[in-house]
Structure 1
Amino acid sequence: MSSSLLLEQLADDFATTIPAIDAQANHNRWKPGIGPFEEDNQIEMLREVLEEETDYSIRTEVSYLEGGQRVDLFLETDEVQVPIEAKLLRFRYDNGNIDPNSFAKVFSPFPEQSTSTLLTDAQKLWNSAFTESGGLLGLYYEPVDEFYEEMTPEAIAEKFCLDVGYWYGFDVETSNIAYFDGLRHPVHQQGAVITWEIIS
C-alpha cells in the first residue's frame, strides 16, 4: 500500500470510528460526546479502538529522527512508513461561541508561536529526515446548522493546500475528506476527517 492510499484509508477508518466513540465519550467538564475532548485524547481514543482492526500499525509520539520533537501519528505497513501530524479543526467552543484562537492554531504560519500549527507542522515534516515526506490530518467538527457556509471541510482542505504553497513553496494534496455525523454533542454534531499528503 502506498503512502497516498494509507492516508486515504486512515481518514476513512477514523471517520467510521468516531461515531462509535462518541456514543460513549463523556467529558468531566463539557457536554457529552467526543467533540469537546482535546486533540491528544481524541487521537488516543481512535488509536485504541483501531489498534487491532487495521492491516497497518498506528503508533503515537514517535520521535523525529533528528531531534527531540515527536510526531503525532506514525503509520506502518510492510511496504511503507508514514509520519503524520494531526490537529483539531474545531472552531467553536462547547457552548457554540466561536473560539477566537482556533483559526490561528490551524492556519498561522509563524514558527515563533509557543505551540505549533497545522501549517508549521507541514513545514516541520517537509524538513524532517523521515524517508516518507508524510502527511497531515485534521479532525473537523461543526454544528448541523453552521452559520458560516464557507467553513466547509472542502474549503478548509483547499485553503490549507494553498497556504502551504504560498508560505513554504512546496505542495500538499488533499488525500481524503471522510465525513461523519449523528454525534451527541449539541455543537460538535458532525464533521470530517481530512488528510493531506506532502508531495516530495
Structure 2
Amino acid sequence: MSESRSLVGALAESFAEVIQDVDADIGENRTYGAGIGPHDEDDQIDALVNAVRERDLFDGTIATAKADATAVRYPGGQSADLYLEADGRSEYCEAKLFRFQKANGNPYAQEFSKVFNPYQDRNPRSFIHDIEKLAAADIRHPKTFLGIYYRPVDGAGTEITSREIADKFAADVAHWTDYSISIDTVARFSDLQHEVHHRGAVLTWTLDDQPEQFF
C-alpha cells in the first residue's frame, strides 16, 4: 500500500501506474480518437480498476458503479462511484473527469460545468454537489473524492498544473458548500497516445469532517 492517507489515494497512485497500459489497450471511442482520454467517466474508472486488479496493485476490494451498482449504494437510496475495502478500512468515493477540452482541442464548457458549476444541483449534478451529497450522507465510513485531470497540451489552460486544479476545486467546495476537503494525492501521468488527452494526473481529496463514529 502507498503512504497516502486514504485508500482512494493509494488507488490513484496505482491508476497512474497502469494508465499507459490501459491507454494502449482500450481502443477508440467512436470518432474521438484512440486512447483512454476520449472515453466516458464510467468506462475510464472501470478500465483502470480492472488493470489494477490484474496487476494485483491494490490489496483489497474495489467496487465500481458500472460493475457492481449494489456494492456502491448507501442508506438513503443513493450511490457513490467507488467503494473500497482494505486493511480493515472502507471508503465511499465520488469520482469525476476533469476534462475541459474536446478531442479536437476546443474548449469543453459542458465538462467544466460538470465539475465547477455551483448551481447544477440536479442530475447531472456537478462535482461540487456530488461532494455535498456524499458529505451529508448518513454513512459511518470515510468519504473521499477522485478526479482524473487531463491537462491541456495546447491552448488555454496549458499552464494550469494538476496541483493548482486540485487546490482550485478544494477552494470552490469550501466557498460554495458547508463542507471542506483536503488534497490527498496528485498522481501524475503523461505520454498517452491521444494528442489532446495526453497528460494530467489522478487527483484525490478527503472530507475534512469525517464521520465521528469511524474513529
TM-score (norm 1): 0.92
Are the counterparts in 2 of residues 33 and 185 from structure 1 also a CA contact under 8 Å? yes
**1:102-123, Cα deviation, whole Å (9 max, x unpaired):** 1110011225433022111111
Note closer, same or farther for the CA distance 1:147–1:163 as it changes in structure 2 (3 Å cut).
closer
Greater Cα offset, 74-83 or 4-13: 4-13
SS in structure 1 at match of 2:74: coil
Q: Does structure 1 residue 139 correspond to structure 2 residue 180?
A: no
For 2:142 and 2:195, the matched residues in 1 are separated by: 38
Equivalent residue runs for 1:42-191 within 5 Å: 42-52=44-54, 53=56, 54-61=58-65, 62-191=71-200
Structure 2 unaligned residues grouped into runs of 5+: 66-70, 210-215
**1:140-164, Cα deviation, whole Å (9 max, x unpaired):** 1134345324532111111111111
Structure 1 unaligned residues grouped into runs of 5+: none
Residue in 2 aligned with 1:6?
Answer: 7
Are the counterparts in 2 of residues 180 and 192 from structure 1 also a CA contact under 8 Å? yes
SS in structure 2 at match of 1:4: coil
For 1:57 and 1:3, the matched residues in 2 are separated by: 17
Residue 95 of structure 1 deviates from its aligned partner by 0.7
Are the counterparts in 2 of residues 125 and 133 from structure 1 also a CA contact under 8 Å? no
Residue in 1 aligned with 2:68?
Answer: none
Are the counterparts in 1 of residues 184 and 205 from structure 2 also a CA contact under 8 Å? yes
What amino acid is the match of 2:197? H
Residue 175 of structure 1 deviates from its aligned partner by 0.2
SS in structure 1 at match of 2:5: helix
For 2:194 and 2:25, the matched residues in 1 are separated by: 11
**1:178-197, Cα deviation, whole Å (9 max, x unpaired):** 00001000110111000000
Note closer, same or farther for the CA distance 1:39–1:63 as it changes in structure 2 (3 Å cut).
same
Residue in 1 aligned with 2:213?
Answer: none
Residue 65 of structure 1 deviates from its aligned partner by 2.5
Aligned positions, number: 200
Are the counterparts in 2 of residues 51 and 57 from structure 1 also a CA contact under 8 Å? no
Residue 71 of structure 1 deviates from its aligned partner by 0.8
Residue 127 of structure 1 deviates from its aligned partner by 0.8
SS in structure 1 at match of 2:109: coil
What amino acid is the match of 2:48? L
CA RMSD between the two structures = 1.9
**1:79-132, Cα deviation, whole Å (9 max, x unpaired):** 211100000000011111111111110011225433022111111111112212
Residue in 2 aligned with 1:29?
Answer: 31
For 2:149 and 2:4, the matched residues in 1 are separated by: 22
